[in-house]
Structure 1
Amino acid sequence: MFSLTVRDHFMIAHSFNGETFGPAQRCHGATYVVDVTFKRPDLDRDDLIVDIGLASQVLGEILAEFHLSNLDELEEFRGRNTTTEFMARVIFERLAKAVQRGRLGDTAKGLTAMCVTLHESHVAWASYEGAL
């Protein structure tokens, strides 16, 4: 299996509901470093996994939806704890739709899986991985 990873980042504010979260129930900020790994069993005719430029561009556009936002104020997340794990899946789903719509070019048609990892800090991160 071949894989290629692109990286970006975004900053958000949010709070969590439930005693499990202790002080994080209050509004706080996070800066996530985001790694997206694209996977396919074979390279395309140009010996590529996916176009790095397009992958980086589309990831940046998706992250821009959240950058410098308070996730508590976004209707689509109302009633949800926007944990690192939760946001990894949100970004995965948006990228998967972009792949399906051809936004990552023809090369992306050969992708079979993708993994989105959000690094919350240098000691903690979470991922969501799935088939495409």
Structure 2
Amino acid sequence: MFTVTVRDHMMIAHSFTGEVFGPAQRLHGATYVVDAAFSGPELGPDGILLDIGAATELLHEVLRRLTYRNLDDEPAFAGVNTSTEVLAKVVADGLAARATGLGPVVRVAVTLHESHVAWASYERAV
């Protein structure tokens, strides 16, 4: 399996519901470093899995819909705790929905680095 990974970042504001979140129940910000890994079993006719520039633009496009937003105010997240895990899935789903035509990519995995010591990932088929 071949894998090409690109990186970007996003900055969001949000709060959580539930005692488990302690002080994070209050509005706070988060800056995530976001890795998107595209995988496939073979290379295309040009000897690449996908164009790195196109993958970078695609990731940036998906993140642009989230960054610099208070996710508490976004209707799509009403009643949802926008945890790192949830946001990893949202980004992966956005990439998978737009990945057609990028090459022989069959899987995408997204990792959101919340800090230098903690991160969460979500992987799915394209």
> Any idea what SS the aligned residue of 1:92 has?
helix
TM-score by length of 2: 0.97
Distance 2:14 2:118 in 1: 18
> 2:110 aligns to what?
116
Distance 1:96 1:114 in 2: 7
RMSD: 0.8
Q: CA shift at 1:114, angstroms?
A: 1.0
Moved over 2 A (4+): none
TM-score by length of 1: 0.93
> 2:17 aligns to what?
17
For structure 2, which runs of at least 5 residues remain unmatched after alignment? none
Distance 1:94 1:61 in 2: 9
> Any idea what SS the aligned residue of 1:81 has?
coil
Amino acid at match of 1:47: G
Distance 2:125 2:20 in 1: 31
Q: How many residues end up aligned between the 2 structures?
A: 126
CA contact (8 A) 2:96 2:125 kept: no
Amino acid at match of 1:118: L
Amino acid at match of 1:65: R
> Any idea what SS the aligned residue of 1:37 has?
strand
For structure 1, which runs of at least 5 residues remain unmatched after alignment? none
Q: CA shift at 1:131, angstroms?
A: 1.5
Q: CA shift at 1:67, angstroms?
A: 1.1
